[in-house]
Structure 1
Amino acid sequence: MSSATNEKLKQCNMCHTVCGKGKVPEEVVQELDDAFECLESSPIMSLLKKHLNKNVFDELKDLITPYGSTLWDCIKSGVVNLDSGVGIYAPDAQAYHVFDILFDNIIEDYHNGFKYTDKQPLPDWGKVSTLQNLDPLGRYVVSTRVRCGRSLEGYPFNPKMKEDDYVAVEKKVTNALRELKGDLKGVYYPLADMSPEVQKKLTTDHLLFKEGDKYLEAADANHYWPVGRGIFLNNENTFMVWVNEEDHVRIISMNEGGNLPKVYSRLVEAVRQIEKRLAFARSVRLGYLTFCPTNLGTTIRASVHIKLPNLGKDTEELELVADEFHLQVRGTGGEHTEVKDGIYDVSNKRRIGLTEYEAVKEMHDGVLELIKREQEFGVVKK
């Protein structure tokens, strides 16, 4: 056993248990060997393939977390879906510790140089008054949304959750949500009891998540569906909480138009109220812990649906602005979807290594610049 592996067999500050010990089943070892060969022979370059070299593979393939998660649980989705951009998930919080030599390299690559020696700043929501309405005349921004993800302490993530875990998490979360005050007050709708008509309407209105994502399916994140899943909605449909979708909790604030300060302040108030009632998994180094490593740190995703009919014709210019302000640009149907009618989903890409306010401010500044370029592009091309 190498010194690096020995280093894994120590008390983990995420769970206060010994990580790395355990016997990986022989059939899983075979799955891993086959998976590595599959990745090696694939022409597609995900972050998983880029960073899972033979040395790293040999170092990690015999390790296991206290919840029984192996390297196969982490990389399965990226092997089944070779078109993945990232290709790795954490089946439980301790996986970030046990398989850190792989996760750390992927995190550094995706999150613009967040190194294994770096630490996530303490939560800081900043001053809402320093943000502005992105589009007060309503010409460009169709809607604004800010969300964050949370995982409850004491439970694994989706791939390792039992049916009882889903039920227990749902009960704890919904009990907390019933205590929300003001315009956050609402009703919880369990997915298991939802009529097909209501489910279709909520999905069409971009309020409700749905089963069927092939990346989550391959990561074993859809067990016992729809047990323990549901949506909490306030009366105005401007605030909602997803329960046991990708993460245990997704807290979401939204509005039509570009009034970012209003949307952001609602989210901040919701998080503060919920955190008084629930304990969430957080690492000193990685911040709030989530199923997907792209969401670590603040877990903040601040986004707009924005009309860019002129700038959208110049993808190079659009990409330049996106790179400058660390923006992610994709279709309005979500990740891996096409752009329709010149409307883009634009969000902050960085979530770790900066504060909650700084993550939102990057989207704020980037969208203002996109609107400026859209206006200039239209004038020049006339």
Structure 2
Amino acid sequence: MQIGTILERPLGPVFASAPPEEVALSTRVRLARNVRDLPFQARLNEEAARRLIDRVEAALAAPPPAEPALALFALDALPPLARQVLVEKHLISRELAEAPAAAVLLSADERVSLMVGEEDHFRLQVFAPGLRLQEAYRIADRLDDWLDAHFELAFDDRFGYQTSCPTNVGTGLRASVMLHLPGLVLTRQIGNLLPAIQKVGLAVRGVYGEGSDAEGHLFQVSNQITLGPSEEEILENLQGVVETIIAHEGKARKLLAESMGRALEDRVMRSLGILRYARSIDGREAMERLSDVRLGIALGLIRDVDLRTVDALWVMIRPAYLQYSARENLSPERRDVRRADVIRRHLGGAL
């Protein structure tokens, strides 16, 4: 597997081959794990960090059975732009991209990403299209067993898995679902919903997690509590809340269509027209316009564009991806021009 293939395609095969969903775009299950005989990552020197990567590479000689094959990529061997593309695709975190000695293990279908050397020694991520928490967790659990077979993981009988941050102690499980919620935003219901979600132990963040904005009406909903409830209880709670949010979003979209009528159609088609004809567009506006188009597709107002095209464009218009695909560093102004070019080509606009 070549890293260039992963960097060049906006969507991995696990997403590109699956039928797109209107509200729940993707699921991620992440497990935080540490090796017992090493200091936590914050106190781990670079030499020891590199030895850990060597140990992981050696473990690949006995790969996990019945799971996607994993390939290891040392991040210091990749140029900064390539690392940022991996961040934009959620395959690694910003912290891992900046670490002096770090690596990532990836499956060819981009379903699995095992980060080595982030806040914890291991951050195991499994992705799935739509709302598929149990499916993603089953794979993560089997890969966790593989890690446990090769490394003595830091575990306490009382507190569970020991992690660098106390908020991850216990199961070490963070599960999240990426949701497209334009209906709740445009009907101004999102402000009432968010506090209710937080009261049941969940967090709502933007497209790149903590500290990021909800660009394009994209929200991540994830568990906050890792100590106390079992993995199954965490997943069941998140599943139930997400299903409720999806139902509310459906009602909000119906309300929008009934109350706005022609005004909603005008908004959607104006956004499509701007995207098809603009010669320069910044990232924030492009995300908002693409959100309108995605909503229009879901409501049957746009019939010549599919949801997967919009999902791919959300990656393709990101700063690092734009520059990597252009094979050069671009100024913000030139990025805006290239972004408009890319969008026009994929939405059938005027070239």
> Normalization by structure 2: what TM-score?
0.62
Q: For 1:159 and 1:303, how far apart are their aligned partners in 2?
A: 25
User: Which amino acid in 1 is paired with 2:89?
Assistant: D
1:301-354 deviations in Å (ceiling 9; x for gaps): 110110111223323421244135321001111211111111101111111101
Residue 174 (structure 2) pairs with residue 301 (structure 1): yes
- Residues 321, 370 of structure 1: 8 Å contact kept: no
- Residues 309, 342 of structure 1: 8 Å contact kept: yes
- Residues 107, 113 of structure 2: 8 Å contact kept: yes
Tell me the matched-pair count: 237
Q: Kindly state the Cα deviation for residue 380 of structure 1 after the two structures are TM-superposed.
A: 4.4
User: Which amino acid in 2 is paired with 1:171?
Assistant: D
User: Which amino acid in 2 is paired with 1:156?
Assistant: P
User: Which residue of 1 is the match for residue 202 of structure 2?
Assistant: 327
Q: Kindly state the Cα deviation for residue 365 of structure 1 after the two structures are TM-superposed.
A: 0.9
1:216-253 deviations in Å (ceiling 9; x for gaps): xxxxxx7xx422x0100011110010001110000110
Q: Percent identity?
A: 27
Residue 227 (structure 2) pairs with residue 352 (structure 1): yes
Residue 239 (structure 2) pairs with residue 364 (structure 1): yes
Q: For 2:46 and 2:27, how far apart are their aligned partners in 1?
A: 35
Q: For 2:227 and 2:96, how far apart are their aligned partners in 1?
A: 28
From 43, 49, 54, the counterpart of 1:166: 49
Q: Kindly state the Cα deviation for residue 197 of structure 1 after the two structures are TM-superposed.
A: 4.8
Higher helix share: 2
- Residues 180, 218 of structure 2: 8 Å contact kept: yes
Q: Kindly state the Cα deviation for residue 205 of structure 1 after the two structures are TM-superposed.
A: 1.5
Change in 2 beyond 3 A, CA 1:239/1:212: closer
1:151-183 deviations in Å (ceiling 9; x for gaps): 100111123212222122222233224422333
- Residues 32, 120 of structure 2: 8 Å contact kept: yes
1:237-274 deviations in Å (ceiling 9; x for gaps): 10010001110000110023223332222111111222
SS at match of 1:341: helix
Residue 242 (structure 2) pairs with residue 242 (structure 1): no
SS at match of 1:310: helix
SS at match of 2:229: coil
Q: Kindly state the Cα deviation for residue 284 of structure 1 after the two structures are TM-superposed.
A: 2.2
- Residues 37, 152 of structure 2: 8 Å contact kept: no
From 39, 43, 50, the counterpart of 1:156: 39
User: Which residue of 2 is the match for residue 205 of structure 1?
Assistant: 89
User: Which residue of 2 is the match for residue 264 of structure 1?
Assistant: 137
Change in 2 beyond 3 A, CA 1:243/1:256: same
Unaligned runs of 5+ in 2: 1-17, 260-351
From 252, 258, 267, the counterpart of 1:377: 252
From 294, 315, 319, the counterpart of 2:190: 315
Residue 64 (structure 2) pairs with residue 180 (structure 1): yes
User: Which amino acid in 1 is paired with 2:221?
Assistant: V
Unaligned runs of 5+ in 1: 1-134, 214-221
1:117-176 deviations in Å (ceiling 9; x for gaps): xxxxxxxxxxxxxxxxxx987110111100110010011112321222212222223322
User: Which amino acid in 1 is paired with 2:239?
Assistant: H
